[in-house]
Structure 1
Amino acid sequence: MLDAKITPITRKLLEKPAAACVRLGVGADTMTIAGFVLGLLAVPALAFEQYTLALCAILLNRLADGLDGAIARRTERTDAGGYLDIVLDFIFYSAVVFGFLLAAPEQNGLAAGLLLVTFMATGSTFLAFASLAAKHGISNPLYPHKSLNYMGGLTEGFETMAAFVAFCLWPQHFPIMAYVFAGACWVTAGSRLSMGYRTLKQAEQKTKRRTE
C-alpha cells in the first residue's frame, strides 16, 4: 500500500552506499545473494528465540534488497537479476514465518501455517499476473523501476516488513498479529485476483478486436 510512496525516499538514501558498492566491484546479483544468506540467518535465530538477532538479520536482508536494485540502476539492470531477486524474496518471506513456527510450534503453528498459505495466495496472484502482463504489454506506471509488472495491494513489501518487525518485538503476540496480517493479505490477494482477471480480460478483448 505504501511502497510507491516510500520507494523514492529509500532510493535517494541508498544512492551513496550503492555508489560505494560499485566502486568496490560488488555487483547487484552478488548483493542479492548476500542479502538472502544474511536473511536466512533469521531462521535459526528465531528457532532459538533470539528475536533481536533475528530482527537484525531481517533488516540486513531488506537493506541488501534495496542496495541490489540501486547497484543495478548504476550498472546494468537485467531480467536474470530481477528474476533472482523476486524468487529469493519470496523464499525469505516464507522462511521467516517458518522460523516463528520453529520457535514455538504449539503456540505459533496454526497461525504460521495460515500465514504461509496466505503468502502463497499473494505471491501467486502477483507472479501469475506479472508473467501474463508482459505478454500483453501491460505497463504499471506506479512502479516503473520494478523488473516485473508490480501489482500493489493493501499489503506490499513495506507492510510485510512492518509485520516482521512487530513479530520480533512482541513474539508472545505472534499468533494474533499473524492472524490479523493474514486477513489483510487475503484482502490483497482478493483484490489482485479480481483486478488481474479484469485487466487481462480487457487486454484479450482488445487483441481480439484488432485481429478481426
Structure 2
Amino acid sequence: MIDEPFRRWLARHAAAPVPVLHRLGVTPNALSWTGLLLALVATALVARGALMPGVVAWLVSRVADGYDGLLARYANTNSLFGGYLDLTLDMLAYSAMACAFAYVMPADRLLWLFVLTGYVLAVTTTLALSSLAERANRQIGGNRSIQFTAGLAEAGETTIVYVLLALMPSLSRWILMVWVGLLIATTVQRTLLARRILRP
C-alpha cells in the first residue's frame, strides 16, 4: 500500500546518492546483495534478542535495497535478471527476519507460521497475476521488472510490523494477529482483481 508512494518519494527527494554510487562503480545487483547481507545481520541480532539494534540494521538494509532500482534506471542497466535477483533476495530477507522473531518469541511461533504462509500467498498471488496479466496484455502498475499490484500488506507494511514488534514486544500476539489478517486480506484482494481482469 505504501511501497509505490515511498519509491516515488525516494526518486524525487532522496536520489542524491545515486550518481555518487554510479561514479564509484557500484552496480544495482551489488546493492541488492548488500541489502541482503545487512538483513542477515539484522536477523542475527533479532535472534539474539537485540530487537532494536536488529530493526535499525533492518531499516538500513531496506534503504540499500531501495536504491538498487534507482541506480539501475539512472545507469540504464535495467535487466530482467536484476528484477529476479531483487525479488528473490528480498523474500529471503523478509522470511529470515520472520524466522528470527519466531525464534526469539517462542510463544508466538504458531502465529509466525501463519505469517510465513501469508508471505507465500502474497508473493504467489502477485507473481501469478503479473505473469498472466502480461500474457493478457494488461498493465497493472509500476515501472518495475515485475508488475506488482498494490495490496494492504507489502514490503513497507512488513517493515512497520517489524518495527512495532521491536518497540512493543509485549503486544506481539495482537500485532501478529492483525498482520495475519492483513496478509489474508491482501490475498483476497489480489484474487478478486485477478478474477476481474483475467476473466475472458
Question: What band does the TM-score fall into relative to the shorter chain?
Answer: over 0.9
Amino acid of the structure 2 residue aligned with 1:139: Q
Amino acid at match of 1:35: G
Deviations 1:112-157 (A, max 9, x none): 111111111111101111122222222134x2x2211111111222
Show the counterpart of 1:166: 164
In structure 2, the residue matched to 1:139 is: 139
Equivalent residue for 1:77?
A: 78
Q: TM-score under structure 1 normalisation?
A: 0.89
Q: Which has the larger radius of gyration?
A: 1
Aligned residue runs from structure 1 range 14-53, under 5 A: 14-53=14-53
Q: Distance in 2 between matches of 1:4 and 1:35?
A: 19
Q: For 1:180 and 1:57, how far apart are their aligned partners in 2?
A: 24
Counterpart of 2:79, as a letter, is: T
**1:181-200 to 2 correspondence within 5 Å?**
181-200=179-198
Q: What's 2:66 paired with?
A: 66
1:94 matched to 2:92: no
Report percent identity of matched pairs.
29
CA distance in 2: counterparts of 1:198 and 1:7, whole angstroms: 27
Displaced runs of 4+ in structure 1, greater than 4 A? Answer: none
Cα drift, residue 93 of structure 1: 1.2
Instruction: State whether residues 22 and 71 of structure 2, in contact with CA within 8 Å, keep that contact through their aligned partners in structure 1.
Output: yes
SS at match of 2:16: helix
| TM-score for both structures, normalised by structure 2 | 0.94
Report the CA distance between 1:40 and its aligned residue.
1.3
Aligned residue type for 1:36: L
Deviations 1:8-63 (A, max 9, x none): 11112331111111010000001001111110112221111101221122101110
Give ranges in structure 1 of 5+ residues lacking alignment.
Answer: 206-212
Q: What is the root-mean-square deviation in Å for CA atoms of aligned residues?
A: 1.4
Aligned length: 199
Deviation at 1:69, TM superposition (A): 0.8
Q: Is the 8 A contact 2:39 2:61 kept in 1?
A: yes
